[in-house]
Amino acid sequence: MSPRTRALFKEWPLLLSFGSLIVVLLFGGSLFESMNGGLSFSILFAWLFLVILFAAFGVVHHAECLAHKLGEPYGTLILTLSVIGLEVLMIVTVMITKSENPEMARDTMFGVVMIVVNGLFGGAIIFGALRHRIQEVNFRSTETYIGGIILLVGMGLVLPAFVAERNMVPFESFLIGACLALYGLFLWIQTKEHRGFFVKKVIEGESDEHAHDSPFGVWYHVVFMILTLIPLVILAKQLSVVLDFGLEIFGLPDALAGLVVAILILAPEGLAAFHAARSNNLQRALNICLGSALATIGLTIPSVLIIGFIIGQDVALGLDPVEIVLLSLSVALLMINLGKGETNIMKGALHLMLFITYCVFVFI
């Protein structure tokens, strides 16, 4: 069997996810309506969860091949923009087709930031530290990420809570331009002007034992990664229908469904970050997690505000006091834990504990 044939056989997660998506689109209504107890809920939940998980592994495979072929940070950037771009598209679609929910975009952005900055990044640090104890990242990249996160989160999610209603339209108009300009500048810094800030320092004699070579070219992996992401994201949202039923059965808070779906949508990035940290490339895990936080704010805010202006729908961006405190703690931890460009298991545990704290507030 030729290398190309063997590689094509590895695309079975794509067939599984699209097959499941077709079943859901054709028969989802009757399947979801047939849920009448814990057993039917468990079967549907397990089916969709496993399909999404296998699709996530497929996405990570293509992302790893792209990282090997293109080098950093391009491979990571394609994965980040693909996931966040589909998430933005989903939010905009819900805004256009569903009943008005001014807080939806804000809650989604806040959840994604808390998941990637504390849950995924904290877990990646711990995962890498268990094997390598202390890992290094480029201090110059951490300065760029943290500075961008502070400004975008501060302008986009904190300041709107203090802007008077009569001044909201001009402020939101300014916010659209500011977010796009800042994120565009960041992309130029990351890929052109200071690309070396975002690349792992290569030690002489060190080899990449985890390199993912492939007989196919770059465009093959770009196309197949995006094709695998599409059913993953749609099925994750369909899973929320099943979760809503389960939450009603077990008496759990409605916000838990949104948290689970957000984690599943971000699963490809989380798996890629964990694998990178395990391979002693924490810089790539940093690029994935903090890059996702920047992309979430920098792309989602302009998108939802522009759509809101067009369709005449209000968009609430200002966070509640508790959420502002959680974001402030997240930024403070990043500044302290990455201040010297080194991480260890304690630093990962701090981020993970803050993520668990965020999850606790989902229930209270």
Encode pLDDT of 17-39 as tens digits: 899 999 988 887 787 777 776 77
Q: Are 243 and 362 in contact (CB under 8 A)?
A: no
CA–CA distance, 232 with 72 (Å, rounded to integer): 25
Average pLDDT over residues 188-199: 89
Q: Any residues with CB less than 8 A from the CB of 297 and at least 6 apart, and which?
A: 109, 113, 149, 152, 153, 156, 157, 179
Domains of the chain: 3-363 (1.20.1420.30)
Locate tokens 């903090």: which residue? 290
Q: Any residues with CB less than 8 A from the CB of 299 and at least 6 apart, and which?
A: 84, 85, 88, 179, 183
Instruction: Tell me the helix, strand and coil percentages in the chain, rounded to 5.
Output: 80, 0, 20
Longest dimension (CA), the chain: 68
* pLDDT at 305 (0 to 100): 93
- Reading the block at residue 179, the tokens are 């977010």
Encode pLDDT of 164-175 as tens digits: 989 999 999 999
Average pLDDT over residues 235-259: 77
Average pLDDT over residues 246-258: 75
Encode pLDDT of 27-74 as tens digits: 877 877 777 767 788 888 889 888 988 888 888 788 778 877 887 788
- Reading the block at residue 248, the tokens are 């009603």
Q: What angle do CA 232, 86, 218 make, to 5 degrees?
A: 80
Of residues 323 and 213, more confidently modeled: 323
Q: Are 60 and 272 in contact (CB under 8 A)?
A: yes
Max mean pLDDT among 52-56, 91-95, 139-143, 238-242 falls in 139-143
Of residues 364 and 49, more confidently modeled: 49
* pLDDT at 145 (0 to 100): 95
Residue 114's pLDDT band (cuts 50, 70, 90): very high
C-alpha distances out from residue 137 to 14, 52, 165, 185, 339, Å: 34, 31, 43, 22, 10
- 3-class SS at 205? coil
C-alpha distances out from residue 161 to 155, 184, 315, Å: 10, 25, 12
Residue 199's pLDDT band (cuts 50, 70, 90): confident
pLDDT greater than 60 at residue 206? no
* pLDDT at 210 (0 to 100): 47
User: Percentage of the chain surpassing pLDDT 90?
Assistant: 41
Comparing 41-45, 97-101, 263-267, 358-362, the range with the smallest average pLDDT is 97-101
Encode pLDDT of 264-296 as tens digits: 878 888 888 999 999 999 999 999 999 999 999
Average pLDDT over residues 78-85: 83
Strands (E), the chain: 135-136, 342-343
**Residue 193 exposure: Cα atoms within 13 Å on the Cβ side:** 9
Residue 347's pLDDT band (cuts 50, 70, 90): very high
pLDDT greater than 90 at residue 123? yes
